[in-house]
Amino acid sequence: MKEIVAKRVSTLELFYDLIFVYAISKITGMIHHPVAGGLPPLAYVEFMFVVVMVMQLWLYQVLYINRFGRSRVIDTAGLLINMYAMAYLANNINTEWSLTFHSFNSAVLLLVAVLLGQYLCGSEKAPLRDRDVRAFTITLSLELLAVLVGLLSGYRYGIYWCVFGGLLGFLMPLAIYHQFIPANVNFPHLLERLGLIIIISFGEALVNVTRYFTGALFRPLPLLIFVLLAAMFGSYVIQTEKLINHHQRSRGFVLMYSHVFMVLAILSMTVGLDYLADHAVSRLFVWVLITASSAGYYLCLLVNDVYRRQRSRDGFWDYCLLGALVIVGSAISFALKSANVGLVLGFSLTSIAIFADLFVKAAVVKKKR
């Protein structure tokens, strides 16, 4: 198979990502305030939905540029208008949806409308004849219609229409999976764009944990937190840069959906680490939140094994080892959860062990080439 030439990530795309740095910080803030020693389930569900909504809007823009973008007027104008709309959307992210319902969903409406216009006019293909463009336009049209009905209905009933529209935009591609054409995807570009959103998410985590970096230079807690995050990010880097085959034909669905949940896991862990400073929060709750976040993150990393070259993919015992490392690390943290250092210790050991395992596998793969 002819090697795929990677599409360059433009400076404008990087500029576009800047607003998502702000949006992600606003999303994290939704669950920064614990109630009665924990987090109300409804607040976390709202947090999950906003992550999905923001990520699916970002992904539709990425996929348009990936398939059809050539730095034309329609590409540049679409990015700038959506950046403008995303700034409004980000400023209206909160848990009092009755107050910001119209502002938030008006921004969503503009974003979806611009994306639909780009796919219809910027692809230079007829939707009725090209199934790839048809799949995108149908999905975005239905999402646009649902959000519009929601806005016209008002908050009381419209909130359900808007949630339905967001979930439709996120899940409908799975139902029409075979309509999307793998040959249209520039896989190296997609992988690089998704990597940038992970960098933004880890950047948000590092900004939030800087509160612990005070006093003596080598205090145990900040050191363990930094090691935890650095090893988690290191594992991602090895998986995506050393083990995944960048030059392949793929729709990239597993890659995209796993990254949405990876962002969710990183932001959840960020909040769990932030809760360490609040002694009113139950240590058991903090342990559960970080355990679930850590397990979710590594599960998302694991499923991307499907994009490795056949000879470098993990087997059954590799999966067992990963699961055992997560369980043992969580058990150590549970046993020592009464102290913040002990609680973080187990997770840090797990992240180091998984990083080391991937590092060795990458070295073996390199020797075989």
Q: Which of 182, 199, 233 is the last residue of a domain?
A: 182
Residue 43 and residue 96 in contact, taking contact as beta carbons nearer than 8 Å: no
Domain for residue 1, yes or no? no
Residue 306 and residue 275 in contact, taking contact as beta carbons nearer than 8 Å: no
Shared domain for 155 and 176, answered yes or no, is yes
Q: Which of 123, 147, 182 is the last residue of a domain?
A: 182
Q: What is the mean pLDDT of residues 249-264?
A: 94
Q: Which of 167, 182, 197 is the last residue of a domain?
A: 182
Give the rounded percent of residues in the chain with a pLDDT score beyond 90. 70
Shared domain for 174 and 195, answered yes or no, is no
Give the number of domains in the chain: 2
Shared domain for 173 and 212, answered yes or no, is no
DSSP state string for 15-63? HHHHHHHHHHHHHHHTT-S-BTTB--HHHHHHHHHHHHHHHHHHHHHHH
pLDDT bin (cut points 50, 70, 90) of residue 98 is confident
| 252 DSSP 8-state letter | -
Distance CA 334, CA 41 (A): 22
Q: Is the pLDDT of residue 118 over 60?
A: yes
R_g over Cα of the chain: 21
Residue 326 and residue 348 in contact, taking contact as beta carbons nearer than 8 Å: no
Q: State pLDDT tens for residues 295-330.
A: 999 999 999 999 987 767 777 888 898 999 999 999
Element (H, E) at 210: none
| Confidence (pLDDT) at 2 | 58
| Confidence (pLDDT) at 316 | 82
Dihedral sign of CA atoms 281, 286, 289, 290 in order: positive
Over the chain, what is the mean pLDDT? Answer: 91
| Stretch among 29-43, 80-94, 126-140 having the lowest mean pLDDT | 29-43
